[in-house]
Amino acid sequence: MNKITKVIIAAAVLSVAAYANAAQKSYNSGDKAFSIDIPSGWTEKAVEGGVQLISPDSKTSLAIVVADSGGLDSKTLADSIAKEANYENPQIECEDVYCNIYGTINGVKVGTTVSADAESKLFMTITQAGEDADSLKKIIDSIE
């Protein structure tokens, strides 16, 4: 298993395990950087290449990771992530440079979006689990 896959699997598994007064925070690792709004009360945990956010009730989480794609496209990365993260009955839908993985891990509904950029050879994954769809959407919409 390669390092990229290990990072994504860790983020997906961690995602399984209230959006007032959000604070914007930036994350970077070398030339890879992004910023997001963190909802008040949410816990942030550093993961290699990104961050995991956990809701105050620990029932919803989101992990964002940026890493080197090794030149692989989104579909190849999505297939690898679904297999290595042990998605149960994964459904993978791809459009342009994005692929979405839908399924369950250990009985929990999980979704991962994979986006690879051929020019920069970077990719980003956003893995989400839980029921607080409104907060997840606000966090995802804040990514810059």
The pLDDT of 11-38, averaged and rounded, is 61
Condensed to tens digits (0 to 9), the pLDDT of residues 67-111 reads: 888 888 999 999 999 999 999 999 999 998 899 999 998 888 899
Give me the percent of the chain exceeding a pLDDT of 90. 26
What is this structure's pTM? Answer: 0.77
User: Confidence class of residue 134 from pLDDT cuts 50, 70 and 90?
Assistant: confident
Phi and psi torsions of 42, nearest 5°: -80, 145
Sign of the alpha-carbon dihedral angle for 33, 97, 12, 70: negative
The pLDDT of 123-130, averaged and rounded, is 86
| Residue corresponding to tokens 């980003």 | 124
Distance of CA 59 to the CA centre of its chain: 16
pLDDT of residue 33: 75
Going from the C-alpha of 98 to that of each of 1, 123, 124, the distances in angstroms are 22, 10, 10
